[in-house]
Amino acid sequence: MDEVTLYHWEPNANSGKPMLALMEKGVPFSSHYIDMLQFDQHKPEYLAINPQGTIPAMVHNANGQRRVLTESTAIMEYVNDCFAGPDLMPADAQDSWRVRWWMKFMDQWLGPSFSMIGWSVFVGPMVRQRDPAELDAAIERIPLPERRVAWRKAISGNFSDSEMAESRRRVSLGIAKLEEELGKRPYVGSDQYTLADINIFNSTYSLPLSQPDLAGKDKTPNIMRWLKRVYTRDAVKKTWAMGKTDLAHRYGLIMAEIEG
């Protein structure tokens, strides 16, 4: 019998991708909440699962084998290929190419800019209230040096003006490109709901609130229609109900903005 355990934070960004994929496929899983703001991902218990200390991670026990999977987009593809349920990749070769193109665009180019802005305005302010010595000790436990640098910048608010300007430039271009794409078809890369929609939704779910100067019913009507389609899916409602911070509690505010 298959047993799936997912180690995740809030149902957004990287953690939200495998959460939604599992929900859409109807795969039962044990949820193991990793509080990123408490640095749970760098504690020995989790490092025994993923020595890199990044989230999410998934453990799949099947036929006497224990598989540990990391990297959110790769986990989504594994979930889609490994389990029964609706296929989240299109059968058409060109559509499949577009889906993978958009996922790579988000993962490698646009997503890091959304992440930098999120760390600057949300993660950093939330954790910098803690004792500085405690924070310093927690950062020193982070296995990956680039993540140590990112955490120090977030906590101190020291992302440079040029870094923030480049992130804002990429976000502006990415939103425009997504608006254009969703004017061609109802979903990202395909006429059907796919992994690309899950991937991109998890970084764009709050655009009407987080980027009101760039997105909204007048500026990006195609994105707003797409967000409404995604938000009203049963799997999305169930997944977001698993959140524990204010991020998850913004669901009603965003829906009001979309429907307003």
Regarding whether 69 and 131 lie in a shared domain, the answer is: no
Say which residue, 52 or 157, is predicted with more confidence: 52
Find the domain containing 62 and state its range.
Answer: 3-82
State residue 260's pLDDT score.
Answer: 66
Per-residue exposure over 27-58, b if at least 16 CB sit within 10 Å of its own CB, e if not: bebeebebebeebbbbeeebeebbeebbbbbb
Regarding whether 70 and 9 lie in a shared domain, the answer is: yes
Say which residue, 28 or 136, is predicted with more confidence: 28
Structural domain contains residue 185: yes
Regarding whether 74 and 99 lie in a shared domain, the answer is: no
Which tokens belong to 234?
């049963």
pLDDT at position 80 over 70:
yes
What is the rounded distance in angstroms from the CA atom of residue 76 to the CA atom of residue 96?
14
Structural domain contains residue 87: no
Give the type of residue at 17.
K
This prediction has a pTM of 0.92
> pLDDT, tens digit, for every residue of 177-210?
999 999 999 999 999 999 999 999 999 999 998 8
Give the type of residue at 111.
G
Structural domain contains residue 60: yes
Say which residue, 172 or 148, is predicted with more confidence: 172
- The domain boundary, picked from 22, 52, 82, lies at 82
What is the rounded distance in angstroms from the CA atom of residue 239 to the CA atom of residue 22?
9
228: domain CATH number?
A: 1.20.1050.10
pLDDT band, residue 248 (cuts 50/70/90): low
Into how many domains does the chain fold? 2
pLDDT at position 124 over 70:
no
pLDDT at position 154 over 80:
no
- The domain boundary, picked from 82, 104, 136, lies at 82
> pLDDT, tens digit, for every residue of 39-76?
899 999 999 999 999 999 999 999 899 999 999 999 99
Regarding whether 224 and 125 lie in a shared domain, the answer is: yes
- Pick from 221, 207, 203, 186: which is nearest to 254 by CA? 207
Length reported for the chain: 260
pLDDT band, residue 37 (cuts 50/70/90): confident
pLDDT at position 112 over 80:
yes
The partner residues of 59 in beta bridges, in order of sequence, read 5, 68
pLDDT at position 148 over 70:
yes
